[in-house]
Chain A
């Protein structure tokens, strides 16, 4: 089955700097890769996703890149702000199948 690893587990950056979180997956059949942001005491919120037919996707300060050959995908946050502080989860799945989540990255943006 699918296995998703996520690094780093914790990340601290200064406000205004960039943050990068990387995930690797094991199942080459996976074709959908969402990223979720979870604030304390709340449910995960979908912030960006990418499908296997695309190498990169950007939405304002957030971007995701996908390397199918290496089976890894990354979340890039530029110009970080304190409100970006949260736990970020990546996931991988094959169409119609269940998500497999990474263990999460706790991002702290220091003012």
Chain B
């Protein structure tokens, strides 16, 4: 149980185009999902918190107009990188909080999406 999927796992796009990444909780409902960015050999950096049916909460320094987040259902959140540039190249990871978990705090991570902008 507690499986989170991400799609695509790897994407290469041209500078100026937009890329959408999907995050799905497969066997549980997630009212809250998180989007992280990870640079090589570094820890996870929280970009935004996505709540089902409401606007995402962005961390300081993250451009909400560049990283569009939509959490339309209890099992799906999407991150769209708009007008991507090479500096947006990174490993993007989502996680989902298990709303029905024993403690309500457990987060399960997706496998990540490697974005390369050329």
The winner among B4, B34, B49, B105 for most chain A CB atoms within 10 A is B105
A46 to B105, CA, bound (A): 12
Can you name the residue of chain A whose Cβ is closest to the Cβ of B111? Answer: A43
Chain B 71-118 interface residues, beta-carbon cutoff 8 Å to A: 93, 95, 103-112, 114
A66 to B41, CA, bound (A): 27
Q: How many residues from B make CB contacts under 8 Å with A?
A: 23
**Within 8 Å of chain B (Cβ to Cβ): is A45?**
yes
Q: A98-B34, A98-B49, A104-B43 are in contact. Are A36 and B109 (CB under 8 A)?
A: yes
B105 touching A93 by the CB < 8 A rule? Answer: yes
Can you name the residue of chain B whose Cβ is closest to the Cβ of A95? Answer: B105
Q: How many residues from A make CB contacts under 8 Å with B?
A: 22
**Residue-wise interface mask of A (35-52) relative to B, using a CB-CB cutoff of 8 A (1 in contact, 0 not):** 010000111111001010
B109 touching A43 by the CB < 8 A rule? Answer: yes
